[in-house]
Structure 1
Amino acid sequence: MTGPRADGRARRGWQRDHAPEPGGGRLTTFSIHVGAHKTATTYLQSRLQQGSAHLRTQNILFEPMPKFRARFTRHLWRAFRKVPEAPTPQDLQAAFGFYLRQAEGHFVASDENLVGTCNLSGRVYADSKARFEFLKACLPGSPDVVVLTVREYAGWLASYYSESIRWQPFVSFDTYKRRLKLDDGLWVRVVEALVETFGAGTVKVMRYETLQDRLPALLSTLCGAPIDETKLPESDDRREGLSAAAIEAVGKIADLSDAHIASSAIDAAMKRFPRSPEFPAFAPWSAEEIHRLKALYADHMSDIGRRHPGIFI
């Protein structure tokens, strides 16, 4: 059955499955880590998950990203796109509130898809402002802190491209490079969108290049309390990037399949051509391009720091 009655029935079913349990704990404070993609998000989420029992002793709740994405983020972006039967902002506030009622002090949400999705259009996170505003409308209160991790452009854009070809019709990196809009602000634009939405005092930026040295500060910022990183064990769950040979293999598959590549085919290429001395990492930039991109990143970080003193973790 389709139509308004079916849509309403489906939404009521979603409300029933995602509503907070009655009689849970009090509403708590919360923080949000919005990504970005390919900035050690899996590593950070693994550390938080591995140490979740320790965090609970400090009244801090962390939900594993796949579960949080299934309960909240996936439905958030269905509603943003106005997909039929998608939940309303009020439904999503209740879904997020589920976690606030489970925690006794502080809830940490982390999902790199909250910043947007990877694509090959050439303008990274083009609709980030609209997405952040919609996210804010779907929260049951104001976050204590919103964290974005950024990364130097040469390495990040190559990784971003490798992630994008999992979900978009394949194009060569040369084609993607011609599409790239390097003059639209990039990280400056995304940070400004966050600040305009959540306020300068709420937004914090972590630089990927300093993450290992600043990990205790990042964890403490997200958790709203000092965190001993040694209590959050490291996990072996790390996602390796694509080798140059794997990218080449994916391109050949695309030539035979009208450019649409199944994620399983990319995983097979990664398995056949794993990053190793034999199969070096995908490194598509020339030395001159790397120099320019590093200089651009440095300029952008300086610009962000001037606009928002104290924003960096």
Structure 2
Amino acid sequence: MTAKPLSVAFHIGAHKTATTHLQRSLRSAAGQLAGLGVQYYGPDTLRLPGRSLQSLFGLKHQAADDLVNRSAADQLAGLRKDGHRLVFSEENFIGALNTPNGRKMKCRYKVADARITGLSAAMGQSIDIHLAVRRPTAFLNSAYCQLLLGGRVQPLKHYLKSHGIASVDWVDLVSRLRAARGVGAVTVWRYEDYGTLFPQIIAGLVGQDAAASVTPPRRRVNRGLSAAAVAQVLEQAGDVTGENSARAARKALPVEDGHPPFDGFSEKEHAISDAAYARQIAAIAQMDGVNLLRPDLL
């Protein structure tokens, strides 16, 4: 299989855009993909100690001793095995979803382009980027709920002071990635179109010949918090017992039982955000070297 030149595809997220669903789809087909020359690596591998891409390719000093002594070429050969395509999926590579200690986030994923450039240089390989974007208000609702699930309890208005809508600028992110050295093709899709575009997304990642090996899980992977669950978490913020955690509230007051999903924005705020989102998508569609996947073009 090594007669074919190596290509690298990297699904970098963004967070809260069905990343886990996509990763589980790829992981479940990993054996079949390997037989077709496509090696897949996701969070189940890349988040192990010493196994992150940063560690493997010397981008930061967190590698285990037996791995850090291997050259980048050896690392690449070890990942490639006898295949012709590497597929990575790890949204944490481009940065955190929320800032630590409540620091203000002016720009989402501000180091994404530099990190991709560093990885490409270390590999000696151009990297094709695959990215999903999402409606800003929905993205922030989900990011806020993730904060609660992580145990950092605060009202939404406090969260938005440091993670406001202005930080969700997908045009900025895509343009920086497109301009980054070492980046090959850039493919973007809207989270809202994920279900419809799933076959095209997979084909772009693993190649058309291998795409039939990947099927989506039947059930939704990560469930969000209901409005009632968020209210309970905030009400019990002073009680740190396990019974009052956001995860327990999600289980006790699930969206699946008819509890409305959490939404911290008004209709007017959604409308303003949606108009800005539409302008961002239109701008991304016009970028040279960016392939925006769209259901109307199927």
TM-score, length-scaled by structure 2: 0.79
SS, match of residue 270 in structure 1: helix
| 8 A contact 2:126–2:183 mirrored in 1 | no
Could you tell which deviates more after superposition, 69-78 or 52-61?
69-78
Given that residues 127 and 182 in structure 2 are in contact (C-alpha distance below 8 angstroms), is that contact kept between their aligned partners in structure 1?
A: no
Residue in structure 1 matched with residue 296 of structure 2 by the alignment = none
1:220-259 equivalences under 5 Å are 220-229=203-212, 231-236=214-219, 238-256=221-239
C-alpha RMSD over aligned residues: 3.6
3-state DSSP of counterpart to 2:132: strand
The Cα shift of 1:310 comes to: 4.5
Alignment of 1:149 onto 2:132: yes
In 1: Cα distance, 2:42 partner to 2:157 partner: 36
> Deviation string for 1:148-181 (max 9, x for gaps)?
1111112111112212334473321111223344
1:186 aligns with 2:169: yes
Q: Which residue number corresponds to residue 132 of structure 1?
A: 116
8 Å contact kept, 2:37–2:84: yes
Q: 1:36 aligns with which of 14, 30, 37?
A: 14
How many pairs does the alignment contain? 285
What fraction of aligned residue pairs are identical, expressed as a percent? 26
Q: Is the 8 A contact 1:30 1:145 kept in 2?
A: yes
| 1: CA distance, partners of 2:148 / 2:56 | 23
Partner residue in 2 for 1:217: 200
- Aligned partner of 2:87 in structure 1 is 108
Aligned to 2:253: 273
Amino acid at match of 2:116: F
- Alpha-carbon deviation of 1:266? 2.6
Gaps of 5+ in 1: 1-24
User: How do residues 139-178 of structure 1 correspond to structure 2 at under 5 angstroms?
Assistant: 139-167=122-150, 169-178=152-161
* Contact 2:80–2:86 (CA under 8 A) maintained in structure 1: no
Give the secondary-structure state (helix, strand or coil) at the position aligned to 1:291: helix
Q: TM-score with structure 1 length normalisation?
A: 0.76
Q: Distance in 2 between the 1:274 and 1:284 partners?
A: 17
Deviation at 1:87, TM superposition (A): 10
SS at match of 2:45: helix
User: More deviation in 277-286 or 32-41?
Assistant: 277-286
Q: What secondary structure does 1:107 align onto? A: strand
| Residue 31 of structure 2 corresponds to residue 53 of structure 1 | yes
